[in-house]
Amino acid sequence: MTPLRNDTLLRALLCEPTDYTPIWLMRQAGRYLPEYNATRARAGSFLALAKSPALATEVTLQPLERFALDAAILFSDILTVPDAMGLGLSFTAGEGPRFERPLRDEAAIRALAAPDPGAELRYVLDAVREIRRALDGRVPLIGFSGSPYTLACYMVEGSGSADWRTVKTMLYARPDLLRRILEVNTRAVTDYLNAQIEAGAQAVMIFDTWGGSLGHRAYEQFSLAYMREVVAGLTKVNEGRRIPSIIFTKGGGQWLEAIASSGCDAVGLDWTTDAGQARRRVGDRVALQGNLDPLALFAPPDSVREEARRVLEGFGTAPGHVFNLGHGIAQQTPVESVAALVDEVLTYSKRMRQS
């Protein structure tokens, strides 16, 4: 493998000093980019795009051609894992994901099993290998998975939901059934992330998008406990380098200390948490990733630059900050805003280290 020419992201994730603050964006390859929409149209659908290693490689690299980003993130989706478990994933225009066979009865839950990533998810591992070849050492590749709980949300509910009533009813009425799903998911997520690492992912992120909808006790028992188990089971070193892990619970700011003690190397923050306070609460135990409000990108470039400086100053110059949005980039985001953001983070974070 070609040596990594820009390892700024990996060093920041391990709280090592860097010349500037590295930046990447959740959903950086997505519908705000016209070239993404063109490739997606050629593929025919989002799932066909995600299932073609060649096209997934093409869209993974698209944002890197436009912006000086410090990482690529595998183009895929968290829901490929339940799809591989046989739940039958589809995406309908304007409605988001849907499972044909959601987990609604005890028999289906007892029959659930973790997929073999080398078989059912082979197309993802092929994409990881192809992206690594195409990157040729430019920047590191981040692999990812949904958290056991966030995957369970979609698996039980069968689609997205405003209140997650079905899965939360199971949590309170039949916690034994939900635990059984979470145990299978923990095995599946651990195996899947380790297979991505083996195929060439140089850092991994766990998306716990819906952990923040849980009550205080339930978050610890039904989401964080299982993510802790995943992190403990991850391959720590590959190709002679440490593989950092990132946990991102959207809406999880109040549990920051607990997440920081889970064994992960970095914690993702959404925009509702103050950066300076977050840093004081976790000290130098973990790196922090975030946390610009994605909607700040809808203002003119000068305002984007000002907000970027505010986030950078909030985190300060101590090692261990990776710049990102507080959640995925929105579909209608102006491309010029992203260009202004990436430029400001590089120039201003360099200047902060010099003064």
Angle 175-199/165-173 helices, nearest 10 degrees? 120
Is-contact 157 167, C-beta < 8 A? yes
Counting residues that bind ligand CP3 (by CB under 6 A) gives 21
Angle at CA of residue 288, ends 285 and 293, nearest 5° = 155
Q: What is the DSSP code (8-state) at residue 23?
A: B
Residue of 154, 192, 226, 348 with catalytic role? 154
- Which two three-digit tokens encode residue 145? 């998975």
Return the sign of the alpha-carbon dihedral for residues 298, 43, 127, 50.
Answer: positive
Residue of 32, 36, 40, 98 with catalytic role? 40
Residue of 77, 83, 208, 270 with catalytic role? 77
- Which two three-digit tokens encode residue 125? 């591992």
Q: What is the DSSP code (8-state) at residue 10?
A: H
Residue of 11, 27, 98, 305 with catalytic role? 27
Residues 6+ apart with CB under 8 A from 220: 255, 258
Under the criterion CB under 6 A, does residue 75 sit at the interface with ligand CP3?
yes
| Contact code string over 96-125 relative to ligand CP3, x by CB under 6 A | xx----------------------------
Pairing of strands 321-325, 245-249: unpaired
Quick one: which segment of 72-80, 107-115, 192-200, 229-237 binds ligand CP3 (CB under 6 A)? 72-80
Complex with ligand CP3: residue 81 or 170, whichever CB lies closer: 81
Under the criterion CB under 6 A, does residue 27 sit at the interface with ligand CP3?
yes
Annotation says 154 is catalytic: yes
Complex with ligand CP3: residue 218 or 246, whichever CB lies closer: 246
- Which two three-digit tokens encode residue 1? 């493998």
Minimum distance between the CB of residue 175 and ligand CP3, rounded to whole angstroms?
A: 23
Q: Cα(68)–Cα(57) distance, rounded to whole angstroms? A: 18
Complex with ligand CP3: residue 79 or 287, whichever CB lies closer: 79
Under the criterion CB under 6 A, does residue 151 sit at the interface with ligand CP3?
no
Instruction: Please pick, from the candidates 61, 108, 160, 339, the single residue that binds ligand CP3 as defined by CB under 6 A.
Output: 160
Q: H/E element holding 141?
A: strand 141-146
Minimum distance between the CB of residue 27 and ligand CP3, rounded to whole angstroms?
A: 4
Instruction: Please pick, from the candidates 274, 328, 334, 339, the single residue that binds ligand CP3 as defined by CB under 6 A.
Output: 328
Minimum distance between the CB of residue 138 and ligand CP3, rounded to whole angstroms?
A: 16
Under the criterion CB under 6 A, does residue 18 sit at the interface with ligand CP3?
no
30 Rama sector, left if φ>0, alpha if ψ -120 to 50, beta otherwise: beta
Longest dimension (CA), the chain: 63
Annotation says 77 is catalytic: yes
**For the chain, how far is it from start to end, CA to CA, in angstroms?**
38
Under the criterion CB under 6 A, does residue 81 sit at the interface with ligand CP3?
no
Q: Cα(270)–Cα(107) distance, rounded to whole angstroms? A: 37
Instruction: Please pick, from the candidates 77, 83, 191, 344, the single residue that binds ligand CP3 as defined by CB under 6 A.
Output: 77
Annotation says 217 is catalytic: no
Q: Which residues would be at the binding site for ligand CP3 (CB under 6 A)?
A: 26-31, 40, 46, 73, 75-79, 96-97, 144, 160, 207, 209, 328
- Active-site residue numbers? 27, 31, 40, 77, 154
